Structure 1
Amino acid sequence: MQEINHRETEDVILVGCQLDADDVAFERSMDELKSLVETAKGTVVGTLMQKRPKVEPSTYIGKGKVEELILLIEEMNVDTIVFNDELSPSQIRNVHTRTQRTVIDRTQLILDIFASRAQSREGKLQVEIAQLSYLLPRLAGQGLALSRQGGGIGSKGPGETQLETDRRHIRRRMDEIKHQLEAVVGHRQRYRERRKQNEAFQVAIVGYTNAGKSTILNRLADVDTLEENQLFATLDPTTRQFNLPSGMKVLLSDTVGFIQDLPTTLVAAFRSTLEELQEANLLLHVVDCSNPDYEQHEKTVKQLIKELGSESIPQLIVYNKSEQKVAEFFPTTDEDSIEISAFEQDDLNSLKHAMEEKLMEQMIEYHVLLKADEGALLSKCRKATLIQKQDWNEETEHHEIRGFVLPDTALGHELQIRSVIEPKRRKVEE
């Protein structure tokens, strides 16, 4: 993947078409597009918006607005137009023909950001195949955009060397990437299987982009992954181990941030990475309650979780950035939730206890007596169960342990057999 930057930023005009009566939602969508452009190191110098019952099939916006756009381009002297939607190949071609400027849609903009953020080999391959899938039907539609090798928004795509890029060459490259990804995905699958064999409890952090997922991972697991107040600051998944208050060890995975209208090519390309969600025992769904559009962000993430087949996994909604929350914020979910600031240690401690509570819902209670020489089993109990009480009985020389354990594990089966009480699931208060 080629990435050559000749200048730090480029001037951009945003174009949006409002198709419904919700002015607030449309304005927020345009604000998000501006944030995406800024993340891609662009500077928004103008915005053009239009209300229509449906988009114009040939140019997305109406003919009069196209003329207005041409005048705005000449006035602002910009080279790039960014649309707040995914355009068809013919729409890109027609707008480019009329304006003689580079035309980027929302999908290509997001792909461009992913291309600049991918660090791992897997991430780079996933982004490249997503870009090629997007590019293939648009070879004849982008005009001179394909001859561009310079820096700037939309120029980080692979194979964009000339207009007459051979479709067979792109398909061949996509086949090569798929074969390379199979090896990488196989390695990830073996890693997941090894974690299953080790019976590690897995928690996946999910949420809208820039909700504070990496910050929470860093504070809980005491690590130092990238934290930025930008969209898609984290692209490559990170997994770290940390201890709950009871001493139980869990694996915490940070995942790529979601966004409204996430390109389907990206969802398909990152499916192997997003499969981490399906293996999780608990999802920490982080919501930025300082964002005025937090409700829509929450719905978007839940819908994507459903599309990935992970809606049955227990979720804990974490309303983050409480120190900056919007005045009208009010949790709208009936699910278990907690309001925190990732920078407050007391809040993080409360989050850990809330995670334990959610964890217990999947567990059964046990009560065992361990001999003094059963140190290995005692150590397993400390690491892989939620111990509520542990005493040493001097008279009988036994460790008396009460706690909760996942039933469908080797340790869970052993503790159920040895339990001096009838193993039962914890009663969850209605």
Structure 2
Amino acid sequence: MNQDNTNVKEREDKNSTYFETSGSLTERAILVGLGDDREEIDIEYSMHELEELVMAADAEVVGSTVQNKRIIDVATYIGSGKVQEVKQLAEANEANVIVFNDELSGSQIRNLEGEIGLKVIDRTALILDIFARRAQSRTSKLQIELAQLGYRLPRLTGYGNALSRTGGGIGTRGPGEQKLEIDKRRIRERISDIRHELKEETKVRETQKAGRQRGGEPLVALVGYTNAGKSSVMNRMLEMVVKGPSAGGSEKSGGSQDGSQDQGDSVKRVFEKDMLFATLDTYHRRVEFEDNKAMVLVDTVGFVSKLPHKLVEAFKATLEEVRDADLLLHVVDVTNENVHNQIAITEKVLRELDAFGKPTLLLLNKIDLLSTEDHDTVMVPRAGMFDGYEALRISARTGEGFDTLFETLRGKVFRGHVRVHMLIPYSEGAVYSYLCDHHHVMQTEYVEAGTLIEVELDSKDYQRYKRFEVRPDGLPAPGSGVREDE
């Protein structure tokens, strides 16, 4: 994106989802950034990302400017000369909102609005605004309102002028939108009420989680940068399991009402769209393979640079599946030139969630969009490592690499399974039925003492039914509960 004080032309790509709005774009924004070589991501990309965020909020970017300095002005964040430059840029382009790339204090917002005469919002308010627009479930709406109120509480003075002048707009809409002339006591009371409601929601999730844990099925969570293709990867996995890749199997819904796209009886897809933060709610899908092995896939909210800490805190309860997961599928857009920075940012958020360091498989998505030359440059190096992770190249659009993904995935999450022989007395028919329904029974032979089977099962059920274990010839195995005379 051009960093000079020039107009930003409307994108030529008319198919961009950022222009799919219900009405015309009424807010015209000037973007303001502060360059610092100590930042985790370069300022040019960060400003481009800010432009996409503004457009995702249904506003139009008409200009952009960056000041390179390390020392922040306490009163106005940028220098006084730059403030006047922004004011002139806004007047020249008929802008009505100024969007800063960093988080501002309430006094900085107030001072900037006084100098420029327009509404001023920061990156944090913008991201919260987008989350408010995307929220579907009761839980996500409560979480976003909590984050919005927590953000606005210390900024009441700064935001008062903006709301009284504009009546809303980007940075002010959503579940947390209220006239901020209300006193702090009422806001704190609302925060307390929301936290209580979220605790009740947590109890429901804990009950659901306990049921999954009792089933002993591994939990696999998809994580990564926003718009990297996590939901597309999940949908492709569900489709291929139903159609029967080399792994084979079927998909079963977890039973939650999550606004999924129902594509018939065979596949319950999760919502996917080419836009930032398309997914805010967690989606669970139980996948059962032909050999009776099963796992639970979880799709999660995407991350972004400078993700507001209060938002991470508010969503921690929803993202607890990431902490509980047996394996993380870290999806990245391999066509993005900042892919390494995006991996680092995702790692940073995972640390905040106490989920960093879990077993992880990196999925280099969108390889179908690479040119032949670029395709060769992102070949996974020797030993299949990329940025320190075991990595696979895939395309959610074409399905390339998904057979290998399934094979690798099964090898990791079902690693604890054991293959044994068991002799089930005819009087224990319920045990035999359970093993057939829940595990892979490979051989069955009816003998005088009962049903002799070869079965592959998880460690939990192996310990539960170890007493029936025998040698391949049907004789009792050491430590089993089967007697020689049975």
Which of the five TM-score ranges fits, normalised by the shorter chain?
0.7 to 0.9
Q: How does 1:186-225 map to 2 (within 5 A)?
A: 186-221=203-238, 222-225=267-270
Residues 245/25 of structure 1: CA separation in 2 closer, same or farther (3 Å cut): farther
The whole-number CA distance in structure 2 between the counterparts of 1:27 and 1:245 is 49
The whole-number CA distance in structure 2 between the counterparts of 1:177 and 1:102 is 28
SS state of the match for residue 31, structure 2? strand
For the aligned residue pairs, the C-alpha RMSD in angstroms reads 2.7
Larger deviation: 352-361 or 21-30? 21-30
Partner of residue 262 from structure 1, selected from 296, 303, 307: 307
Partner of residue 173 from structure 1, selected from 185, 190, 194: 190
Q: Which residue matches 2:401?
A: 347
Partner of residue 413 from structure 1, selected from 459, 463, 468: 463
The whole-number CA distance in structure 2 between the counterparts of 1:127 and 1:208 is 19
The whole-number CA distance in structure 2 between the counterparts of 1:275 and 1:177 is 18
Q: Which residue matches 1:365?
A: 418
Q: Which residue matches 2:443?
A: 391
Structure 1 residue 313, shift from structure 2 partner: 2.9
Aligned partners of 1:245 and 1:353 also within 8 Å: no
The whole-number CA distance in structure 2 between the counterparts of 1:59 and 1:81 is 13
* Structure 2: segments with no counterpart, 5+ residues: 1-21, 239-266, 381-385, 472-476, 479-486
The whole-number CA distance in structure 2 between the counterparts of 1:191 and 1:272 is 14
Aligned partners of 1:13 and 1:44 also within 8 Å: yes
Structure 1 residue 86, shift from structure 2 partner: 0.8
Aligned partners of 1:314 and 1:358 also within 8 Å: no
CA deviation map 1:48-91 (0-9, x unaligned): 11111222221111111111101001001111111111111121
Aligned partners of 1:147 and 1:163 also within 8 Å: no
Q: Which residue matches 2:345?
A: 300
Q: How does 1:270-285 map to 2 (within 5 A)?
A: 270-285=315-330
Aligned partners of 1:217 and 1:223 also within 8 Å: no
The whole-number CA distance in structure 2 between the counterparts of 1:379 and 1:219 is 32
Aligned partners of 1:366 and 1:416 also within 8 Å: no
Q: Which residue matches 1:99?
A: 116
Letter aligned with residue 305 of structure 2: Q
Larger deviation: 288-297 or 300-309? 300-309
Letter aligned with residue 391 of structure 1: Q
Structure 1 length as normaliser, TM-score? Answer: 0.87
Structure 1 residue 371, shift from structure 2 partner: 4.5
Residues 138/24 of structure 1: CA separation in 2 closer, same or farther (3 Å cut): closer
The whole-number CA distance in structure 1 between the counterparts of 2:401 and 2:429 is 34
Q: Which residue matches 1:243?
A: 288
How much identity, in percent, do the aligned residues show? 39
* Structure 1: segments with no counterpart, 5+ residues: 424-430
Residues 24/172 of structure 1: CA separation in 2 closer, same or farther (3 Å cut): closer
The whole-number CA distance in structure 1 between the counterparts of 2:165 and 2:136 is 23
Residues 83/189 of structure 1: CA separation in 2 closer, same or farther (3 Å cut): same
The whole-number CA distance in structure 1 between the counterparts of 2:43 and 2:296 is 39
Structure 1 residue 142, shift from structure 2 partner: 2.2
Q: Count residues with an aligned counterpart.
A: 413
Q: How does 1:4-403 map to 2 (within 5 A)?
A: 8-20=25-37, 25-147=42-164, 150=167, 152-157=169-174, 160-162=177-179, 164-221=181-238, 222-244=267-289, 246-325=291-370, 327=374, 328-329=377-378, 331=380, 332-361=386-415, 363-371=416-424, 377=431, 380-381=434-435, 387=440, 390-393=442-445, 398=451, 400-403=453-456
Of structures 1 and 2, the one with the larger relative CO (CA 8 A, separation 6+) is 1
The whole-number CA distance in structure 2 between the counterparts of 1:367 and 1:391 is 11
Structure 1 residue 320, shift from structure 2 partner: 1.1
Aligned partners of 1:109 and 1:153 also within 8 Å: yes
Letter aligned with residue 378 of structure 2: F
The whole-number CA distance in structure 1 between the counterparts of 2:290 and 2:344 is 31
